[in-house]
Amino acid sequence: MAPSFDNENFLFNFAVRDGNGVKGIVDSGISTVPPAYIQPPAEQIDKKNASICDMPPIDLSKLGGPDHDGVVNQIVRAAETLGFFQVINHGVPVELLESLKQTAHNFFGLPAERKAVYRKEVSPSPLVNYGTSFLPEKERALEWKDYISMTYTNDDEALQQWPVECRDDALQYLKTSHELVRKLIAALLGNLGVELDDSNIDTFIEKKTVNMNFYPTCPNPELTVGVGRHSDIGPEPAQKIAPLPQAVKKDGAARYREFVMLDYIKSFFENPHDGKKTLEFVKLNSA
């Protein structure tokens, strides 16, 4: 018989402290979602009035041809509205993707005590963090996911500190997808001056968050693998970030303050997902 997860303290200890996560809860044989994972009614998606997206995949092979600007516009519009998009002809080998998927499933299939070694509070490496939900000690409703986050500094440290079950495929994927991200950023920056005239900059900033995590959801496991910030495609922790001069000139005033990247990172990871709070961190009071 499955244990009762109605007691939030018991659930927290089982899922978070002991490292069982969502997978452990489902594997226990539950038939209903525990109350701690149910969003308040006011924050739940209105499925009856939700619209269906029929945005076609974006063909990245066209970035190098006469359709370049059209592809960039598709990416910008998707980032403004949905916050994500599907791409084809991206150059990442299918064999690598399949191998990485299996590697991730293998890791999450390990016994809880093997995964719990990498919990934030006890992890032997500052580069590795295993957990469930985003910030379970502060969230009003827990997130139905488990994850492992592996920070890349250099190849040697990754090979020494990343979990042996993940490191080889994850490192290869990081390098391959890094080139893809650079390609996308280069395409966007080349058209940014044009897009500033008719883009919803607030929405674009709010949507473009990328990290390196594996998420299994149950009972039919799904998987998301992301690639995180790299020194070649993102700011260093000590770097200052400020509004683009052309954006300030267009609006007549800055909407966001200058900040240090490390302060933004701390704010993001020390607060639960809650609406637009991440954006509020850098928005000026008069904006």
Residues 219 and 82 in one domain: yes
Give residue 160's pLDDT.
94
In a domain? residue 40: yes
Give residue 119's pLDDT.
93
Q: Is the pLDDT of residue 17 over 70?
A: yes
Residues 215 and 253 in one domain: no
Residues 105 and 244 in one domain: no
**69 close to 154: Cβ distance less than 8 angstroms:** no
Domain end, chosen from 182, 203, 230, is at 230
Give residue 116's pLDDT.
94
Number of domains in the chain: 2
Residues 258 and 182 in one domain: no
Q: Any idea what the CATH number is for the domain that residue 28 is in? A: 2.60.120.330
Domain end, chosen from 211, 230, 249, is at 230
Residues 6+ apart with CB under 8 A from 278: 206, 209, 267, 268, 271
Beta pairing, strands 58-59 & 87-88: parallel
End-to-end C-alpha distance for the chain, whole angstroms: 55
Residues 226 and 190 in one domain: yes
Mean pLDDT (whole number) for 89-94: 88
Domain end, chosen from 230, 252, 273, is at 230
Give residue 1's pLDDT.
65
Residues 161 and 274 in one domain: no
In angstroms, the CA 86 to CA 122 distance is 36
In a domain? residue 2: no
Give residue 286's pLDDT.
52
Q: Is the pLDDT of residue 35 over 90?
A: yes
What is the per-residue pLDDT across 169-211, written as a single tens digit (0 to 9) for each? 888 888 887 777 777 767 766 654 444 444 544 444 433 333 3
Structural domain that includes position 86: 8-230
Residues 21 and 121 in one domain: yes
What is the per-residue pLDDT across 211-234, written as a single tens digit (0 to 9) for each? 334 444 444 567 777 765 554 556
